[in-house]
Chains A and B, each alone.
Chain A
Amino acid sequence: MSAVLEVINLKKSFGGLVVTSDVSLSMATGDRVALIGPNGAGKTTFVNLVTGALRPSSGEVRLRGETVTKVGPTGRVQRGLVRSFQVTRLFQDMTPAEHVGLAVLQRTGNSGRLFGNFLTRTEVMEEVDHLLEKLGLLPLAHRKVREIAYGQQRLLELAIALALKPSVLLLDEPAAGVPQSDTSRIEEALANLPSDLSVLMIEHDMDLVFRFARRVIVLAAGAVIFDGSPSDVTKDARVREAYLGSYAHASHVA
């Protein structure tokens, strides 16, 4: 199967600190990959490099065969590469319907329109309602984001990403900061992602990783130290060492 996303020898350093050292990976249609690693391993930086928010020191990113290393972040989104954020980035005074509506309009090339209120445009609102319904957010469609719970805001991040109809989705800790009681909703949403979508998910919660991923990549100090099946990852000596080095998450893996 041809690769949807290819990352080739990606490198990045901040001053003297090497944060991404020679990372390569390739993802096919429908892949479910978990990217894990201790705090500060360079996971978010990797996402920033792939999406174009940061410029790599060297290396290449390809989307469906096209080299996009010189394409800006908006161009990559338009080519189907969409991300979510580790800490939600939402517009506090806007409603979920407005967020998702804006994403739909952007995808269809209508976000620059000077006339017409999209809240009264049925073809946009039908899609918005459908997406919000799927994530259980419909009852909150017209509440301001600042008034809804953090778990629901994380679901909204997913809804926005899906509204852009991506072919590759990079999720940066989709369950981070969500109380345990609400993670099941997010896990359900993740399980229901379209099957032809390629997903790379950064996550610290190993239960979630094992249930979601069919492939696990471990990053430590900016380098890939493991790339294989979930069942092998806990047995790997280097992975254990990397996690034991940062005791914070040792318990999850051990």
Chain B
Amino acid sequence: MSGDSSVSNTNSMTRLRSNFIRRDLIGIAAIIITALAGYLLFPDNLALLTRLLAIALLVLSLDLVTGYCGVATLGQAALFGSGAYAAGILSAHYGITDPLLMTLGGIVAGVVAGLVCAIVMLRAHGLPQLVLSIALVYLFHEFANKASSWTGGSDGLSGIMLDPLFGVFEFDLFGHTAYFFGVALLLIVFVLLRILVRSPFGMLCRGIKEDPVRVRALGASPHKALVKMYVISGAVAGTGGALSAISTQVVALDSLSFTQSAEALVMLVLGGTGSLFGALVGTLIFMLFEDFVSAANPFHWLTMVGALLIAVVLFAPKGLYGTAEAFLAGRKKHDGETRA
């Protein structure tokens, strides 16, 4: 009897594991195929696509704290912008022009910004926490504005020079190198985050989102875990910021703006919180929609984005990806039942 059930348990463990790996592979394949399709279909628009990759990293980083941990923030661009400025300043002021070192600089700056935001924001909960996040992003923005000898202030940071990637691939005018660099960064981050979200720590964070009191009764400190997640989130956002600085060779003040933060949240909600795929789908659809509609109708595109968002929130509250996933899961279950 007990032998039977432990066998069935081992089976379900193996099944769960292969399920995870299958979804990992599907995710990786989906990113590669989408990236290649973008490259082939829009060869003249690689700048937009690379920007999409950078913003996808920002939205993923937001998903870590908001989607997985339940911390609502409207200041996530503070982490992204810190990464962008760090990478840019390394090149423009210190002559560190190796793109990998610049990316590393962006990651470190994102981590530091994440730590600062965590220490301030996690003192509060709910609405006060949200207000603190807004205050923080305004402070970061104002600081960058005032430190204009470093950041170029409202003119933006320019003069970013780049060595060839690995000493071989020049960052060309058409943005081919930057695009593939971005795709590679996104893939690496995606795989690492897939590992993260199903690690014991990822599980703990899901628990914190649902019931911190329960987590405390297990003997784990929600506060410590959230600080840790913020630091990781900072690394991801910083990577995105560095990519944006490297690909455009300028850093503008609005990379650490409230608007950018709010837009990232909109993309996340659009795709679906609490899922890495949701974050990616949300970014893709929002940015393509924005580009397409603003070209087709430059006067009313914001109206249309607003209408899309309202439709999603009202009719697909789990986001586009979340709703599609739930629908497919429901169909699968239904199929299984009718067959059984």
Contact = CB atoms under 8 A, between A and B. Distances in A.
Nearest to B17: A120
Contacts of A103: 218
B195 A77 contact: no
Interface residues of B, number: 32
B195 A74 contact: no
Given A125-B13, A133-B2, A139-B5, A113 B201 contact: yes
Chain A interface extent, by class: 35 or more
A110 B218 CA distance: 13
A90 interface: yes
A22 B199 CA distance: 45
A11 interface: no
Interface in B202-257: 203-204, 206-207, 210-211, 213-214, 216-221, 224-225, 228
B16 interface: yes
Nearest to A139: B5
B297 interface: no
Contacts of B17: 117, 119-120
Contacts of B198: 117
A195 interface: no
A77 B213 CA distance: 13
Secondary structure of the B side of the interface? helix
Contacts of B225: 112
A168 B13 CA distance: 33
Nearest to A73: B216
B9 A77 contact: no
A190 B217 CA distance: 20
B204 A142 contact: no
Counting chain A CB atoms within 10 Å of each CB, the highest count among B196, B218, B219 belongs to B219
A78 interface: yes
B200 A118 contact: yes
The CB with the most chain A CB atoms within 10 A, among B203, B216, B217, is that of B217
Contact of A106 (B206, B210, B211, B220): B220
Contact of A116 (B200, B217, B224): B200
Given A102-B207, A114-B199, A164 B218 contact: yes
A164 B267 CA distance: 40
Given A117-B20, A119-B13, A141-B12, A98 B203 contact: yes
Nearest to B20: A117
Contacts of A112: 200-201, 204, 224-225, 228
Contact of B199 (A92, A117, A164): A117
A106 B219 CA distance: 7
Given A91-B206, A133-B2, A113 B217 contact: no
B214 A78 contact: no
Interface stretch (A33-41, A81-89, A244-252): A81-89
B251 to A, nearest CB: 30
A65 to B, nearest CB: 20
Interface string B164-207: 00000000000000000000000000000001101111011011
A83 B216 CA distance: 11
B303 interface: no
B217 A51 contact: yes
A115 interface: yes
B219 A141 contact: no
Interface string A93-125: 110001001110111001111111111100001
B6 interface: yes
Contact of B9 (A91, A110, A118, A129): A129
Contact of A89 (B6, B199, B214, B228): B214
Contacts of A117: 17, 20, 198-199
B5 A82 contact: no
A193 interface: no
Nearest to B6: A129
A191 interface: no
B199 A116 contact: yes
A252 to B, nearest CB: 28
B220 A74 contact: yes
A218 interface: no
* Residue among B200, B210, B221, B228 facing the most chain A CB atoms (10 A cut-off): B200
A114 B203 CA distance: 10
Interface string A36-75: 0000000000000001010000000000000000001110
Contacts of A89: 211, 213-214, 217
Contacts of A102: 200, 203-204, 207, 218
A111 B20 contact: no
Given A117-B17, A142-B16, 6 more contacts: A74-B221, A78-B219, A89-B211, A111-B201, A120-B13, A164-B219
30 contacts: A53-B213, A53-B216, A72-B221, A74-B220, A77-B218, A83-B217, A89-B211, A89-B214, A90-B214, A91-B211, A102-B200, A102-B203, A102-B218, A103-B218, A106-B204, A106-B218, A112-B200, A112-B204, A113-B199, A114-B201, A115-B199, A117-B198, A120-B13, A129-B6, A133-B2, A138-B2, A138-B6, A141-B12, A160-B218, A164-B218
Q: Which 5 A-B pairs have the closest CB atoms?
A: A77-B219, A89-B214, A113-B200, A138-B5, A105-B200
